[in-house]
Chain A
Amino acid sequence: MDDDIKQFSYDTLAVSQELHVRPEILTKLLKSFSNTLSQKIAQLDDFMLKNDVIQIRAIMHEVKGTSGNLRLKQVYEAADAMHVSVKAGDPAEKITELFGVFRKEAFLFIDYFKNC
């Protein structure tokens, strides 16, 4: 599965046109979300250790909504997969594996916008 995660790509101009928002506002929101996501990952690390499924589910729901709205396809798909798995009550091993994928996708996005 790691082979699928190589690099982050995002076309700010195309997304700003799709969403009918100004590119500079979209960039501001993406930077804000990258900060929010860093905090959410730190919380998730903690909740994963505690196996706190309710909190994990709530965070993944929120991340899924925002990443989808901002058209962060890779982050959204990884968040959605993990959210579905947590909701379905899948075994901890599967959720941990999906969290690994989500974490990598999230950090690719965070690093990308850190350098913008």
Chain B
Amino acid sequence: MWKILVVDDNYENRELIAEILRDVAHCDVASNGKEAIDSYNASLQENPYDLILLDIEMPEINGLELLRKIRQSEEAADIPLGEGVAIIMVTAHKKPFLDAFYQGCNDYLIKPIDPQKLIQKIEKKLGKPTK
């Protein structure tokens, strides 16, 4: 099973993604940037996330800021570029991805979520899940 953090301020969206992935991943959910950072930091002590699915449009700390914070903390921990946690941005916007790639996201997904595309994109980064 993959270990994934789903970050979205909308309850229905994050629960839907966790439900879609229930057979292939253990998903934790976070409803804002602070919760996400706390979960991410806590996971580093024991069992780090394989991947983060990150909504862009969120109040207070938005997805792009959160992406930047995670990459900065990896840099501070001397994690080589490209070897940090995989991050896929998820949004209904069609254009902000250039910024996201500059800041170190690995891929993106446009809402409405297509379950097959979602799993394909995760597999592309992580390979097939083990049972």
Contacts and interface: CB of A to CB of B under 8 A. Distances in A.
Contacts of A76: 112
Given A61-B92, A64-B92, A69 B13 contact: yes
B19 interface: yes
B16 interface: yes
B92 A20 contact: no
Summarize A's interface: helix, strand, loop or mixed.
helix
Interface residues of B, number: 16
A19 B11 contact: no
A65 B20 contact: no
Contact of A32 (B12, B57, B112): B12
Contacts of A22: 19
Contacts of B20: 19-21
Contacts of A69: 12-13, 16, 111-113
23 contacts: A18-B115, A19-B16, A19-B20, A20-B20, A25-B15, A25-B19, A29-B15, A33-B12, A36-B10, A36-B11, A61-B92, A64-B92, A65-B10, A65-B57, A65-B111, A66-B10, A68-B92, A68-B111, A69-B12, A69-B13, A69-B112, A70-B12, A71-B112
B26 to A, nearest CB: 17
A65 B11 contact: no
A80 B38 CA distance: 34
B13 A20 contact: no
Interface string B7-49: 0001111011001100000000000000000000000000000
